[in-house]
Structure 1
Amino acid sequence: MKKILLISICFIATSCAELQQIANTIPIATGLDNATIASGLREALDFGIDKQVTKLTHKNGFYENNLVKILLPEELQKVDNALRDIGLGSLADEGLKVLNRAAEDAIKEATPIFVAAVKEITFNDAKNILLGNDNSATSYLKNRTNSALYLKFNPVIKNSFSKVGADKIWTNIINKYNAIPFTNNVNPDLTDYVTNEALKGVFTMIGQEEKQIRTNTASRTTNLLRQVFALQD
């Protein structure tokens, strides 16, 4: 009799655990619809822009942040090495720094572009995105907006190159390199390169905030964030 009772208790306990596991995978039971979940995802992305992307606008926001620091493209690494070999290391350092300065300056002008992109994005399958990995919403935003953001952001970067003097410094660098005997001339499109790197940096920082909201309940500072992200805990 005792054995039967013990088996029954174990069966019930196992069944309850399995039922709980199944229940945990059904977010619809919470009553939150797709529109509410989408609003929560947008709010998380907005927090990423407000709390993380704004850090990039400060002096050295890119240059001293190893997550997003813009390094030289492959074709310019030989330029950097050649300048250092002939004693122009300080010029090479300045060249790298102004690329990051241009990105920092451009982000100040471009932040409204990212805010608008978040407001306009439609999460067709918000529940799956919510239950995805730590930066699913950020990845979704990037995939849906990167091309359009590039077109808007590129002229901002070009203008920032002029504002921080990066265009003059890099013209000087490239001319000095091209004058070195036995080197192949280079003429890289730095505006295109920095645009892509700056956009990558923006999405990296937005993703950092999304991960924080997903993994740290204390970061959910609004009712909407608490309500929506509780589903993926």
Structure 2
Amino acid sequence: MALSKLALAISLSVATVALAAPAHAQSRKSTPSLGGSMKGLLGNASDSALDQLGRPGAFYADQAVRILLPGPLQKATKLLRLTDRAGITNNLVKSLNDAAGLAAQEAKPVFRSAIDSMTLADSVGIVAGGDTAGTQYLRRTSGEVLRQKMRPLVSSALGRTGAFKQLDSLGKGGTGGVLGALAGVDLSRDGTIDSVTDQAMSGIFTYIGREEADFRRNPLKSGKKLLDRVM
């Protein structure tokens, strides 16, 4: 009885997830496999999450995923207040969040590549798992690889938003450097790249999990959203 229920659940998942599979994937194979369907589900969840976080100001607007300056929050906040007043920085935290958003805009192929490596056995386990089983699988199996591929995107974005220029001012031996040392804040470029990358990855997985859970609750609604984008 339990086996038949699992088979029914898998069959239903194949049917509903197929609604969200990319049109080009459906054209290649008229009857979607379970593995292909789950890849479609996670692929569309990651695309949607990255689209949302790639919008200007998205990271900064959501306190749940907002990128913060490396170091103890309270001390880092005090440091920024002092450096802003001294004219050393100009909304550095906003620049860090803008950089995370730019990196998210460019990360779709990175996440799609990781998702494409899923096997049929992985897919069966994800179907039988909870609302965010696919996201947890992706984070567990590919999190570090994804982080390493995201890091150069973050580094480039930090340069484009002017964050590095402000960090360099803070890290010099003058007032900014002394305050940074006292606050326990890592103002080096490498330290900031690592911190922003880690925080951005955490935010991205948070959003992918939300999208996956929403699809599982409302598969037809999610499929219609996808169709609306294509038409």
Map 1:27-66 onto structure 2 (within 5 A).
27-28=6-7, 32=11, 36-66=33-63
Contact 2:89 2:166 in 1 (8 A): no
Alignment of 1:179 onto 2:178: yes
Cα offsets for 1:172-229 (capped at 9, x unmatched): 234443235993675440001111111111111111111001112433417xxxxxxx
Report the Cα offset of residue 123 of structure 1: 4.6
Residue segments in structure 2 that go unaligned for 5+ positions in a row: 15-31, 225-231
Partners of 1:30 and 1:84 lie apart in 2 by 54
Other structure's SS at 1:221 match: helix
Q: Does 1:204 align with 2:203?
A: no
Amino acid across the alignment from 1:198: A
Q: Match for residue 219 of structure 1?
A: 221
Percent identity over paired residues: 27
Matched residues in 1 for 2:47 and 2:180: separation? 49
Residue-pair matches, total: 201
**Alpha-carbon distance in structure 2 between the residues aligned to 1:98 and 1:31:** 45
TM superposition score normalised by structure 2:
0.73
Tell me the C-alpha RMSD between the 2 structures. Answer: 3.1
Aligned to 1:71: 68
User: More deviation in 43-52 or 190-199?
Assistant: 43-52
Aligned to 1:11: none
State whether residues 178 and 185 of structure 1, in contact with CA within 8 Å, keep that contact through their aligned partners in structure 2.
no
Asked whether the equivalents of residues 98 and 165 of structure 1 are also in contact (C-alpha less than 8 Å), the reply is yes
Q: Where does residue 126 of structure 1 map in the other structure?
A: 123
Greater Cα radius of gyration, structure 1 or 2 = 1
Amino acid at match of 2:77: D
Task: Determine the C-alpha separation between the residues in 1 that align with 2:95 and 2:133.
Answer: 32
Residue type of the alignment partner of 2:114: A
- How far did residue 65 of structure 1 move? 2.1
